[in-house]
Each structure stands twice: as structure tokens, then as C-alpha cells.
Amino acid sequence: MKSAVLVIDVQNGIFAAERQPYNSTQVVSHINKLIAHAKAAGHLVIFIQHQMPGMVEYGSQPWQLFKELTVDDTDIRISKTAPNAFFETELEALLDQHDIHTLTLCGYSSDFCIDRTAFEAASKGYRVHLPADAHTTHDKPHLTADKIVEHHNFTLSMHPNIHLHPTRVLVGK
């Protein structure tokens, strides 16, 4: 069964900002391990980049992938305008074209884009691996980021097609 890693919204406007997401250094390190493992196994790595008019313009510096990510010029990139990476993008067609049935999701933000994309993928029948330590968010007025990540790890893992693991289990180290 073919697999792909979706690296969601790990962009300069979020990770290179003065106020970085919770545990961002460790999260990016885990994401790079997932990328290396996928490439070594011959799986696809797809970078998803969010754009928002007036905030994160397509092609702008904030829109660019974060410099600490392991990215090759040949890697696939998809731009999106909604939290759900499947919404009005070519993602599903690309996955179908490559006969992908298993996805590993990582990146930003646990409570929006990771949540919406994971649930949509699982509901479409994809087997989803969610590395518990490879997605993040920012504190919110009502809840700290670590609790948001913990909450979404729990709630998403209740879906029968979403499987929660630490990165070390997914990369075999």
C-alpha cells in the first residue's frame, strides 16, 4: 500500500515569526525525520501551503516553506485557502493518481488545518497516521497549546481510520 506524508502549513509566516508555535523546534525536527523516512521508503512527500489574501499572500515570504524543513525542488507543493487541505485543491486527484491510501499528517495547526484535514482524509477512507509529537499550534485565550495538541490527539484518534503514534514509532527509531 502506497503512502504519503502531508506537511501542512509549516511556513515562514508561522514558524519564523517572533511568536513561534508551541514546541516548534522539536516539531520541525520530528517532521524532518518523517520526511527522510518517507523519501527513503520511496513514498511521496507533499507540502501544503496556506494562503490568505491580505495576510499570507501566495508567493510572499510568509507563504514560503520554513527554512528549517528538509525540502527538495522536486517535492510536490499544493496551495490551499481553507483549513481542509482537500477543499478545492488537487490533493485528492494527486493521491488517486499515485494510488495513495495511507497518509501521515504533520505540521500546523493542530486545532484547525491538521484537525480538518485528518478528519476529512479518514472520512474519505484513507488510513491516517497522526504523529502525536509532529503537529503544533499556538496558545489560545482559553487553552494552552500543549493542551490543545493533547486534546486533538485524543479526539482525532477516536476515528477508526486515524492512528496516533509518536514519530519514533513511525520512523522505526
Cell matching residue 77? 507543493
DSSP code string of 78-145? EEESSSSTTTTSSHHHHHHHTTEEEEEEEEE-IIIIIHHHHHHHHHTT-EEEEETTSEE---BTTB-H
Query: Which residue, chain included where needed, has cell 495511507?
Result: 102
Alpha carbons 32 and 152: distance in angstroms, whole number: 21
Q: Give residue limits of the domains in the chain.
A: 2-171
Residue 53, pLDDT score: 86
Domain 2-171 has CATH 3.30.110.40: no
Q: Residue 173 — very low, low, confident or very high, per pLDDT cuts 50/70/90? A: confident
- Give the model confidence (pLDDT) of 103-160 as tens digits: 999 999 999 999 999 999 999 999 999 999 999 999 999 999 999 999 999 999 999 9
Residue 54, pLDDT score: 84
* pTM for the predicted model, two decimal places: 0.97
